């Protein structure tokens, strides 16, 4: 993905954030991530939203993808995602993520209320991206479509997985 199209997509996200803060209500953001490096990347998006909307208007919840296999964590993550304006998915897998991730998506997507929102896919890899975008990108694009949400994608090279 070229840098100009990434910038255009992030600008669309900025507009959504600005619209929600101008409307006078807080922005609910759910962030799920795979490891320390992807959490750091998701934090960049969160900080950008906080700058645009105002830190006091952004409510964020953070969930590690591997923890979604715990029933209590899954229930909390589903509950927050249902009410979120922005759902950020930060991972390394272009071809797939762990099964609990898909259970989480299926659980909140059908219960999300119809309003403006965005799914932000931050998908990295340890090598240069091929022309084929990967199944996770296509899956998240479809999630956004079903949820009547904007779809924003950013990719970058990430170093090998680092323990958190």
Phi/psi for 154 (5° steps) reads -135, 140
Q: How many residues does the chain have?
A: 164
Domain ranges of the chain: 3-155
Contact of 113 with 147, CB cutoff 8 Å = no
Q: Which residues contact 109 (CB under 8 A, 6 or more apart)?
A: 143, 146, 147
Q: Provide the β-strand partners of residue 86.
A: 29, 118
* Residue 127: Cβ-neighbour burial (10 angstroms; 0-12, 13-18, 19+): exposed
pLDDT, greater one: 136 or 17: 136
The b-or-e profile of 66-91 (16+ CB within 10 A means b, else e) is bebeeeebbeebbebbbebbbbbbbb
Domain 3-155 fold is Rossmann fold (3.40.50)
User: Residue 107 and residue 15: Cα distance in Å, rounded?
Assistant: 28
Distance of CA 132 to CAs 13, 88, 102, 137, Å?
A: 24, 22, 21, 10
User: Residue 129 and residue 143: Cα distance in Å, rounded?
Assistant: 22
pLDDT, residue 14, reads 55
pLDDT, residue 50, reads 87
* Reported pTM: 0.81
Q: Whole-number mean pLDDT of the chain?
A: 82
Per residue in 97-128, pLDDT (tens digit) is 999 999 999 999 999 876 789 999 998 876 65
pLDDT, residue 57, reads 86
Q: How many CB atoms lie within 10 A of CB 112?
A: 18
Per residue in 63-76, pLDDT (tens digit) is 999 999 999 999 99
């Amino acid at each position: 993905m070229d840098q100009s199209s990434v910038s255009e997509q992030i600008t669309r996200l900025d507009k959504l954030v600005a619209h929600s803060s101008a409307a006078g209500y807080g922005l609910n953001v759910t962030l799920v991530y795979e490891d320390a490096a992807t959490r750091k990347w998701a934090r960049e998006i969160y900080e950008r939203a906080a700058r645009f909307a105002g830190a006091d208007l952004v409510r964020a919840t953070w969930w590690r993808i591997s923890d979604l296999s715990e029933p209590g964590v899954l229930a909390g993550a589903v509950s927050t995602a249902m009410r979120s304006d922005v759902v950020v998915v930060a991972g390394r897998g272009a071809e797939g993520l762990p099964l609990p991730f898909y259970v989480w998506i299926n659980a909140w997507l059908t219960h999300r209320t119809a309003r403006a929102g965005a799914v932000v896919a931050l998908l990295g890899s340890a090598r240069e991206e091929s022309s084929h975008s990967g199944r996770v990108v296509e899956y998240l694009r479809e999630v956004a479509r079903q949820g009547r949400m904007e779809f924003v994608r950013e990719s970058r090279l990430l170093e090998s997985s680092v323990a958190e």
